[in-house]
Structure formats: C-alpha cells, structure tokens
Structure 1
Amino acid sequence: MTAEETGAASGPGCGEPEPSDSLRTFGAVVQGLREHAGLSREEFGELVRFSKHTVASVEQGRRMPDADFVEAAEGVLGDTGALRRAARHLSRKPGLAVWFRRWAHLEADAICLCTYECRLIPGLLQTEEYARTLFVNAVPPLDDDQIELQLAARLERQRLLREHPNTSYSFILEEHLLLRGLGGREVTRGAIGHLLEVAELRNVEIQIMPVSRKAHAGLGGPMQLLETPDHQWFAYNEAQRGGLLISDSKEISVLQKRYARMRSQALTLDDSVRLLEQMKGEL
C-alpha cells in the first residue's frame, strides 16, 4: 500500500493533489449561487476581494476556502448562511493525494510517531518559508494554486503536534539537513529556530544525527513508525514518487530495531538542542 502527503512527508510535489468530496461540494454550491446571482468569476472575485483564479480554485474543489472567503461570499450571495454551514463540513486535509490518505488517517490518531529523515526537514517540523521553498522548486513545476493548496495541507498537518499533547513524537534528523542551507540563510535560521521552539513541547523529542557519526543504523533511508490507540504498529518508507505503507509485523520489527539503535547513536536531547543553538548563532 502506498501513502504520503502531496509532495512527500517532507518534500515537494510527488503526485497531483486530489480534491476531497467536501471541497468539491462546497465549490459547487459557491458556483451555483454565483451563477444564480448572474456574476462572472471575475465580477464575483472583485466583490469578495479574491482573484478570479482563487474563485476558480475554490469552485473546482482545489483550494480550501479560508474564513474571509466564506464570509465575503456569504455577504455577496445573499447572506443565507448556506456557505457557513457547508464550510463546517469541509475536509481538514486539503491537498492530500489519494495515496497519502491512509497514512494521514493513521497519523492523526497515533499515540506514538517516530520519524527519521536524511533528505529534508520532516513536513511536521517545517516552517512556512522552508515548505514554500520546496514547493516553488518542485519538478515538474507547480502553479500558484497548487503551491498554496499543498502549503495549506502541510501547515494544517502540523497542528497535530500541539493538538495531540498525549501523543509522543520522536524525530531523528541528520545534521547535514541544516548545513545544506536550503532557501538561504534566513530560511535556514528560521527553520532552526522553529526546531528549537518545537523541541520545548513536552510531547516532542528532537535528536540530531551528527555528521561526525561515520555509520549508523539508518543508512537504508528515511522511515516513519507509528502506534495506534489499539497498540498496532505501522511503518512508512518513502521514495521519489511514492511510498510504502507497511503492516507486516516482521518488517516493522526490523525498522523498530533500527530506529532504537539510531536513538542511541544520535546526540542526546540536550546535546541536540545545544548543537541547534550553536548552528543558529553561526548563521
């Protein structure tokens, strides 16, 4: 089975985002009311102070409408309350590819999530500027609506860290992810500052695998492990254009052993924080 976020857990686009049924339905309601009012998309956009391209993206179910759009649209289209009510049923996971949704569902309910990354800062830990840099540099290129849709999905997903204080999150990040300087000095400095901020949460542990570590148990590539409320374990491995959701207990046992070894090979929590503070101060 395959799974991961539009663009990967960490990286830029890796599959087209699939509009959810609720987004399509909301968009159809907006379009129907707009056409009943005799307004073109451009005319409607001027009235609600959004571009006609944004209006088109909402109507086609490709963009999650924000509260300002809903309120402005209500005012222009009769203030019946229909759009406000419809907005309550919108999917909270815009921009998720079909092949990610299974993992996203498991991730949202997990009581424990372990992540090792050797390519990019994990999506759950990215700043908006860092994520935008990834999406802007995606190959093949994304249009503006796709970038905003995928960025919204990533930022929405990050709410898990604070909304699920009883879930344990463990991250092991390669030091070279920050030495790359992706996006430039300010983006990297902001990314490190964000890691330090998130590391203060009681349910989050961030460890750095130093470049001085010549070998470790994670050389086979990135991985994620999670435990469900009924104590089942799943794993996820990711590649360039897709990912593999793993439920086989033998395979998961191997990955658990590797992750446990990496936790002992990476810097301690305190030493990781000190290294991040040092790196931030040198930028």
Structure 2
Amino acid sequence: MSGNGEPESTDSLKQFGAVLKAFRERAEMTQEALARRVQFSPATVASIEQGRRLPPPRFIERAGEVLDALGVLKAAAQYLSRQPGLAAWFRQWAELEEQAISLYTYECRLIPGLLQTEAYARTLFDERVPPLTDEESETQVTARLARQELLRTRPNTAFSFIVDEHVLQRRTGGVETSRVLLDHLLEYTAKRRNVEFQIMPLQRGVHAGLDGPIRLLETPEIQWFAYSEGQESGQFVSDPKTISTLHMRYAKLRSQALTPEDSRSLLKQMRGAL
C-alpha cells in the first residue's frame, strides 16, 4: 500500500482472470456473449480477465453457473486480495462492516459509498486530484461497488443513512447520473425494510452534524465503533466516551432530519424536477 492510500498491485486478480478466460474459451463463448449471459458489460468481463478489476460476488456466481465452473471460480476467488481499492486506514472498518448488526452513516459531502451508483462513483474517481490512471480508477470503482453487497446480503443488519439535502442537489456527474441516482435511492428506500434513509433539509440552519460526517457500527458482540475520515487520512475510534458523544449527535440528527416518508417525498420531487 502506497502512502497515498492506493492499492498495491497483485497477481491474484490476474490469476483469477486467467481461470475465467480458460473456462470461457472452453465454452466457445466470446466476452460479449458471456457479458450478456451474466448481465455485466463486455468492458467489465474484459477488465476481470485482464486482472484489472475485482470480480463482484454476483459476477462470480453468474459466470460460474453459465460456464459450469462455479466451484472452480469460487475457489479461485478465495485467493484474491480481500479488498483492493480500499485505503489502508479504511480496511479495519470495512472488515467490521461485513459483520455489523447496525450501521449508521451521516454524510454532508457526498452520497455514502454504500448507496452510490456506478456512474456516480466513477465520476468521483475520474475527477480525483491528483488524477488516477484508468486502471486505478477502475479498481476504486470496483471496490466501492463490491462493498455494496452488504446491503444485499445482510437483510438483518439495520442500515441508517442521513444525507444533507445539498448533496442531492449538487447533480454530481450531470443530470442523467442524478436521475439514475435518485431512482436508485427511491428503489432502496421502497424495497428494503432494513434500510432507513433520511434527508437533512436545507431549512434546518443548525443541526447536530455541523462538525462533519459520522459513521457508527455495532458488532454482533454489542460493541460500538466509529470512523472519521479526512482528506488523506482516517481514524478508527473505539474510545467509549467519544462514541457516546457521537451517538448523542446521531440521535439528535435523526430527530432533526426529515422522516423517512417525507424524505422519499422529497426524493420524488427532486426526480420530477430533472
């Protein structure tokens, strides 16, 4: 891991890509044909075969079924670097996320990573300063999308998100990217009972989150941890006193934000205005 948080190169991605390519060719299937069958883009299939992209769990499952190689691909995936694209300071938190029974996020800068669409995430990484290479950007996007499996595979985890209204109004990535993002948020808030989404309205001039973003999680052992991220660093927080303070602030934020129902109504208004 380099000092700026970029992932180190790994041969494990190339090895997985070679295995995937061998089974695809055995099936006499082009990358385009496989892409159609697994419902991913041809560019994604090519990137995975070239060892430039971490295969999402859904891709491994679908490709394994299509190519009659599920056992082999799952075995090969076990040797992949666990979370390429994640900065070193974030990995401890990301590992706890995978087991969390409660996960609370307040964000005032951008849409939380677990809720971002691919186009939104790609805009963020493509516009990074200093610029990333195409390969670095692709790796970062893949890692972010892979984390989102948490929302699909942990139905018993309570997810709470509070996002400042101005973040949604910024139209990051343009109008079309914003449309897709709002549709994505509306779908999640409608279909997933364990996901609560609230908007902090602009009319709320003062609220409990003015000191910055808040992330809290609860482990199966009923332990709470927090995470704070800055420009080029992050801090993992386990001090009970600090966590108690952040809990108080998050509870206040929940009471100050729009209700989930009113937040959905505002999302629909924003979508209709695009």
Identity over the aligned pairs, expressed in percent?
55
CA 83–233 in structure 1, closer or farther in 2 if over 3 Å, else same:
closer
- Equivalent residue number for residue 140 of structure 2: 150
Deviations 1:119-167 (A, max 9, x none): 0000000011100110110011111111111111111101101210000
CA 83–170 in structure 1, closer or farther in 2 if over 3 Å, else same:
closer
- Equivalent residue number for residue 90 of structure 1: 80
Report if the CA contact (8 A) 2:100-2:219 is conserved. Answer: yes
1:282 and 2:246 correspond: no
Report if the CA contact (8 A) 2:13-2:48 is conserved. Answer: no
Cα distance in structure 2, aligned partners of 1:82 and 1:275: 47
Cα distance in structure 2, aligned partners of 1:274 and 1:55: 39
Deviations 1:205-232 (A, max 9, x none): 0000000001000000001000000000
Alignment of 1:3-22 (within 5 A): 15-19=5-9
Mark the runs of 5 or more structure 2 residues left unpaired by the alignment: 19-30, 32-41
Report if the CA contact (8 A) 1:117-1:174 is conserved. Answer: yes
- Equivalent residue number for residue 111 of structure 2: 121
Cα distance in structure 1, aligned partners of 2:99 and 2:177: 31
Report if the CA contact (8 A) 1:131-1:151 is conserved. Answer: yes
Report if the CA contact (8 A) 1:57-1:145 is conserved. Answer: no
Greater CA radius of gyration, 1 or 2? 1
- SS of 1:196's partner is helix
Cα distance in structure 2, aligned partners of 1:170 and 1:18: 32
Give, in angstroms, the shift of residue 67 of structure 1. 5.4
User: What is the RMSD of the two structures over their aligned residues, measured on CA atoms?
Assistant: 3.1
Cα distance in structure 1, aligned partners of 2:257 and 2:81: 38
2:102 aligned residue (100, 112, 125) = 112
Q: Which amino acid aligns with 1:252?
A: I
- Equivalent residue number for residue 136 of structure 1: 126
Mark the runs of 5 or more structure 1 residues left unpaired by the alignment: 1-5, 7-13, 32-44
- Normalising by structure 1, what TM-score? 0.76
Deviations 1:31-75 (A, max 9, x none): 8xxxxxxxxxxxxx9xxx989x958962xxx6425659x99xx9x
Cα distance in structure 2, aligned partners of 1:230 and 1:206: 25
Deviations 1:210-268 (A, max 9, x none): 00001000000001000000000000111111111100000000000000001000001
Give, in angstroms, the shift of residue 86 of structure 1. 2.6
